[in-house]
Structure 1
Amino acid sequence: MSSSEVDHLVSENIKEHHGEIIYDANGFIKKIYRKDSQLNRKIVDRWGESFHFARAYKGDTFEQSIKRHEQYLAVKLGLNEKQRALDVGCGVGGPLREIVRLSGAHITGLNNNGYQVERCKAYAKKLGLENKSDYIKGDFTAIPRELYGKFDSAYAVEATVHSPKLEMVYGEVFRALKPGGLFATYEWVTTPNFDENNPEHKRIIHGIEEGNSIPSLSSYKQAIDAAKHVGFELIEHEDRAILSECHVPWYMTLKGGFSFSGFRMTRIGRWTTHKFVYLLECLRIAAPGSTDVACFLNKTADALVEGGETEIFTPMFFMLLKKPTTA
Structure 2
Amino acid sequence: MTAELPATPETVARHYDAITPFYEIIGSRSLHFGYWPRGEVGGSFGEAQHRFTDLLIGQLGSQQGQRVLDVGCGLGEPAIQLARSTGCVVEGITISSKQAAQAEQWARRHEPSGQTTFRCADAMALPFPVGSFDAAWAVESLFHMPDHATVLRELARVLRPNGRLLVADIVLSADATPRERAFLQHAFVARTFITAEAYPELVGEAGFEVEQVLDVSAHVMATFDAVAAAIQEKEAEVLRAYGAEFLAGVKAQWARISESASRCMGYVVLTAKRRSLET
Name the TM-score class by shorter chain. Answer: 0.7 to 0.9
* 2:184 alignment counterpart: 208
Q: Does 1:264 align with 2:230?
A: yes
How far apart are 1:38 and its partner, in Å? Answer: 3.9
Alpha-carbon shift at residue 215 of structure 1 (Å):
1.9
Cα displacement string for residues 7-29 of structure 1 (whole angstroms, at most 9, x for unaligned residues) = xxxxxxxxxxxxxxxxxxx9x9x
Q: Please state how far the C-alpha of 1:180 moved relative to its aligned partner.
A: 0.3
Residue 205 of structure 1 aligns with an amino acid whose one-letter code is R
Provide TM-score, normalisation by structure 2: 0.84
What is the CA-CA distance between 1:37 and the residue it aligns to? Answer: 4.9
Q: Following TM superposition, by how much is the alpha carbon of 1:254 offset from its aligned partner in structure 2, in angstroms?
A: 2.8
Q: C-alpha deviations, 1:284-322, integer Å up to 9, x for none? A: xx77xx455445544542343124422x112x3110011
The C-alpha deviation readout for 1:244-282, integer Å capped at 9, x for no partner, is: xxx983322134xxxxxxx333xx558x569x83xx6xx
- Partner residue, 2:3: none
Aligned pair 1:137/2:93, yes or no? no
User: Structure 1 residue 54 and structure 2 residue 34: aligned?
Assistant: yes
Contact 1:162/1:215, CA 8 A, preserved across alignment: yes
Larger-Rg structure: 1
Counterpart secondary structure, 2:11: strand
Contact 1:254 1:305 in 2 (8 A): no
What is the letter of the counterpart of residue 276 of structure 2? T
Distance 1:166 1:54, change over 3 A: same
Q: Partner letter of residue 230 of structure 2?
A: R
Gap runs ≥5 in structure 1:
1-25, 256-262, 281-285
Question: Paired residue for 2:265?
Answer: 313
TM-aligned CA deviation for residue 35 of structure 1: 10
Structure with the bigger RCO (C-alpha within 8 Å, sep 6+) is: 2
CA distance in 1, matches of 2:214, 2:253: 25
State the secondary structure of the residue aligned to 2:134. Answer: strand
Judge which range, 169-178 or 219-228, deviates more: 219-228
CA contact (8 A) 1:111 1:117 kept: yes
Q: Do the aligned partners of 1:241 and 1:250 also contact (CA within 8 Å) in 2?
A: no
In the alignment, is the contact (CA less than 8 A) between 1:207 and 1:300 conserved in 2? no
1:297/1:129 CA distance change after superposition, 3 Å? farther
Match of 2:200 among 199, 204, 224: 224
| Match runs of 1:79-98 below 5 Å | 79-98=62-81
CA drift at 1:44: 3.2
- Aligned ranges 1:71-86 → 2 under 5 Å: 71-86=54-69
Q: In the TM superposition, what whole-angstrom CA distance separates every residue of 1:86-106 from its partner, at most 9, and x where no partner exists?
A: 111000011111111111111
Q: Is the 8 A contact 1:85 1:105 kept in 2?
A: yes
Rate the CA distance shift 1:37–1:70 in 2: closer, same or farther, 3 A: closer
Change in Cα spacing, 1:55 to 1:203, as seen in structure 2 (3 Å) is: farther
1:29-53 Cα offsets, whole Å, 9 max, x none, are x728669954343333333201111
Q: What whole-Å deviation, never above 9, does each CA across 1:116-162 have from its counterpart, x for those lacking one?
A: 1111111111113351111121001110143x311111111111110
Residues 326, 37 of structure 1: alpha-carbon distance in 2 compared, 3 angstrom cutoff: closer
- Distance in 1 separating the partners of 2:155 and 2:215: 22
- Partners of 2:144 and 2:182 lie apart in 1 by 15
Distance 2:11 2:245 in 1: 16
Matched position secondary structure for 1:219:
coil
Q: 1:37 to 1:230 in 2, by over 3 A?
A: closer
Percentage of pairs with the same residue: 19
Name 1:251's counterpart in structure 2.
224
CA distance in 1, matches of 2:265, 2:247: 23
